[in-house]
Copies of this chain bind each other. A is one copy, B any other.
Amino acid sequence: MDRLTLREVGLRDGLQLVKQWPNTSAKKNWLALEHVAGVRHFEVGSFLPTARFPQFADIEVLVDTLSKLDGAHSAALSLNERGVADALKTSVDEIVCVISATEEHSRANTCRSRAEAINLIKDASIERSRLAPEKIITVGIAMAFGCTISGEVVPREVLCLAEQAYSAGADIVGLADTIGYAGPSQVADLCRGMTRLNPGNPLLIHLHDTRGLGIANAASAIDNGANIIDASLGGLGGCPFAPGATGNVVFEDIVFLCERMGFPTGIDIDLLTKARRFAETSMPDELFYGNLSRAGVPKNITWAA
């Protein structure tokens, strides 16, 4: 793994709530264009009932598409036992499960306690060992910095959950600022706690730019040990709990951040902007955010080597 891995989550988080989405051919083109630009890690959907989530019905096709792109790595969400079982049958590289930082959110969102959610991770790990030991299991802790139901979250509880997730068999644990509560100080504290908990293990950060601090939080995460950063082209991925709020941190701007911080991304901004333009035309009703794509890379700048 490079010092920093950027994960494109637009085709998962970005499509979670939209009424209109690209068809399979457009999704494949989107992936191909970002791959040509240098992006290698993609979360491409959720293993969910296709009747309720038709936007993810083509997940197996996308996973197969990625398996044929040089160096590409595929991830997909599995929110329950059925999702895990379905994922294990495919060629997906990484299965992402989600647990909530607070008991209140866990029950409201999934009708499970946090302990039950940890049990799901345990079961998933056992099945993974049995059926597809090469697959990675990642656990994202939603609302890790603040919760729509219970407000501020105690960092110690998040670290305790992370420890349980590792014990249950998770390879990677991620911190998600699902609705934009965090500032750089909170991100720094929790990232440092996570690196103390499991030194040397990859640390994933999933940030939303709900209140404008997304990129500042990413900078803080990078400074404090995070090395897998989720982002989406144009910041796709609004949250139902914060109407009008932007979604994930903007992939293009994160690339510029990383390069300015001295971390080579291997990504060509012009080709990435081309991918963004394609994504925009494939989802004409969605607002695409981000500044770099408008202003372009500044003149005579030293890109990280």
Tell me if A246 is interfacial: C-beta within 8 Å of chain B: yes
Tell me if A248 is interfacial: C-beta within 8 Å of chain B: no
Given A216-B218, A216-B257: A298 touches B211 (CB 8 Å cut-off): yes
Residue in B185, B291, B296 whose beta carbon sits within 8 Å of that of A246 in the complex:
B291
Tell me if A292 is interfacial: C-beta within 8 Å of chain B: yes
A residues whose Cβ falls under 8 Å from a Cβ of B: 146, 148, 150-152, 179-186, 209-213, 215-216, 218-220, 223, 242-246, 250, 252-253, 256-257, 259-262, 290-292, 294-302
B211 in contact with A253 (CB, 8 Å): yes
A302 in contact with B152 (CB, 8 Å): yes
18 contacts between A and B (CB under 8 A): A151-B301, A152-B302, A179-B298, A180-B295, A182-B260, A183-B256, A184-B223, A185-B260, A210-B295, A211-B297, A212-B292, A213-B219, A213-B257, A213-B260, A216-B257, A242-B295, A242-B296, A245-B295
Residue in B181, B250, B291, B294 whose beta carbon sits within 8 Å of that of A298 in the complex:
B181
Give the residue name and chain of the B residue nearest to A151 (CB).
B300
Given A183-B261, A261-B185: A211 touches B301 (CB 8 Å cut-off): no
Task: Give the oligomeric copy count.
Answer: 2
- Chain B residues with CB under 8 Å of A297's CB are 211
Given A151-B301, A291-B210: A183 touches B257 (CB 8 Å cut-off): yes
Give the residue name and chain of the B residue nearest to A210 (CB).
B295
Tell me how far the C-beta of A253 lies from the nearest C-beta in chain B, rounded to whole angstroms. 3
Given A184-B261, A260-B185: A244 touches B299 (CB 8 Å cut-off): no
A299 in contact with B219 (CB, 8 Å): no
**In the complex, what distance in Å separates the CA atom of A260 from the CA atom of B148?**
17
Give the residue name and chain of the B residue nearest to A298 (CB).
B181
Tell me how far the C-beta of A17 lies from the nearest C-beta in chain B, rounded to whole angstroms. 15
- Chain B residues with CB under 8 Å of A291's CB are 180, 209-212, 245-246
A213 in contact with B211 (CB, 8 Å): no
- Chain B residues with CB under 8 Å of A219's CB are 183-184, 213, 216, 219-220
Known A-B contacts: A182-B260, A212-B291. Give 6 more (CB < 8 A): A184-B260, A209-B291, A211-B298, A216-B216, A216-B257, A242-B296
Tell me how far the C-beta of A265 lies from the nearest C-beta in chain B, rounded to whole angstroms. 13
Give the residue name and chain of the B residue nearest to A146 (CB).
B298
**In the complex, what distance in Å separates the CA atom of A295 from the CA atom of B179?**
9
- Chain B residues with CB under 8 Å of A243's CB are 294-295
- Chain B residues with CB under 8 Å of A257's CB are 183-184, 212-213, 216
- Chain B residues with CB under 8 Å of A245's CB are 291, 294-295
